[in-house]
Amino acid sequence: MKKPKKICKNLECEQEILEYKSLKREYCSDYCRSHYGYTRRLEENKEFTAHAKGLSENYKLLKMHKDAGILEESFYKYEKLGFNINFLPSFKIYNIKGYNKLTYQIKDIVFSLDKEKKLIVIY
């Protein structure tokens, strides 16, 4: 009896699997099996990876301004430098100078968006 032709499930390979003992075999090699899993997980986690990268870029900009001593700056300037408002963490309410303020925190930097003056204020 002839064995049916099997094709590797890895989309980048798609070679014919010549020798196999079981019909359950889906990949031509361990490399193809692990690479297929890697690309599948990369695609599944694309949204989370993009958000983490965006947070990282925002943090770099805020850290650069904080280290330079610039604690209030126009939102438009941050936007030109690459700050993206879509990648903000969830907000927290802090008591700053006796007022409850809506703030965001990325690692060690606490900042708020002043919508009236269109500023980003770092605390």
Pair 62, 118 in one domain: yes
**Residue 1 belongs to some domain of the structure:** no
Contact 58, 83 (CB under 8 A): yes
> Do 79 and 109 reside in the same domain of the chain?
yes
Q: Output phi, psi for 54, to 5 deg.
A: -65, -40
1 pLDDT more than 70: no
pLDDT score recorded for residue 112: 93
Q: Which DSSP letter does residue 48 get?
A: H
Q: In the predicted model, what is the mean pLDDT of residues 49-66?
A: 95
Same domain, 91 and 116: yes
CA separation for the pair 116, 6 (Å, rounded): 64
Better pLDDT: 95 or 83? 83
pLDDT tens by residue, 72-82: 999 999 999 99
Per the structure, the complete domain to which residue 19 belongs is given by: 6-44
- The more confidently predicted of residues 5 and 46 is 46
Segment 16-42 mean pLDDT: 92
Model confidence at 21, pLDDT cuts 50, 70, 90, reads confident
Residue 105: strand pairing partners: 110
Question: Position of tokens 């014919």?
Answer: 16
Say if pTM beats, i.e. exceeds, 0.85.
no
Same domain, 71 and 114: yes
B/e letters for 23-51, b = 16+ CB within 10 Å, e = fewer, are eeeebbeeebbebbeeeeeeeeeeeeeee
**Rounded-to-integer distance, Cα 94 and Cα 84, Å:** 22
Residue at 58 is within a domain: yes
Q: What percent of the chain has pLDDT over 70?
A: 99
Q: What is the pLDDT of residue 70?
A: 92
Across 91-114, average pLDDT: 89
Distances (CA, A) of 84 to 5, 12, 68, 102: 51, 34, 20, 18
**Averaged confidence pLDDT in the chain:** 91
